[in-house]
Amino acid sequence: MELAEGETLRVKGSAPDPYVLAGHGSWYSCTCPAWQFQKGPLTRRTCKHLKGVLGAAAEEARVREAEARAPRRRKPQRTPPRDTITDDAGREYELDD
Ligand SMILES: [Zn+2]
């Protein structure tokens, strides 16, 4: 089963009120605490309700794809400041180590 964008589905969970699953195009949301408090971007979150409705394999594949698409986190590369000398004309020269 799939949830189209803008489509919602109520799923009865352990809470008295049903959880609401919603489709957002390429990702899905759920109102359960497991989803709400999950770390990471919304597009990569999932929970047992989404897995139950959409299929665990399909959800896991979707999350993996979202991870693959996300820009990799890179450590900012810092180049150490180089010593420079300035000549009388105001020109700067970098000194090679
Ligand atoms: Zn849920």
CA separation for the pair 4, 27 (Å, rounded): 10
For residue 38, report the distance from its CA to the centre of ligand 1, in Å. 10
Band of residue 84 on the pLDDT scale cut at 50, 70, 90: confident
Q: What DSSP string runs through 26-76?
A: S-EE--SHHHHT--S-GGG---HHHHHHH-HHHHHHHHHHHHHHSPPP-PP
pLDDT of residue 48: 96
Task: Report in angstroms the alpha-carbon separations of 74 from 25, 29, 64, 77.
Answer: 28, 28, 19, 8
Does the reported pTM lie above 0.85? Answer: no
Find where tokens 């589905």 sit: 9
Cα of 81 vs centre of ligand 1, distance in Å, is: 50
| Residues whose beta carbons lie less than 5 angstroms from ion ligand 1 | 30, 32, 35, 47, 49
What is the distance in A from the centroid of ligand 1 to the CA of 72?
Answer: 27
Ligand 1 center to 78 CA (angstroms): 42
pLDDT at 64: 95
pLDDT at residue 97, rounded to an integer: 66
CA of 52 to the centre of ligand 1 (A): 9
20-78 tens-digit pLDDT: 999 999 999 999 999 999 999 999 999 999 999 999 999 999 999 998 987 776 667 77
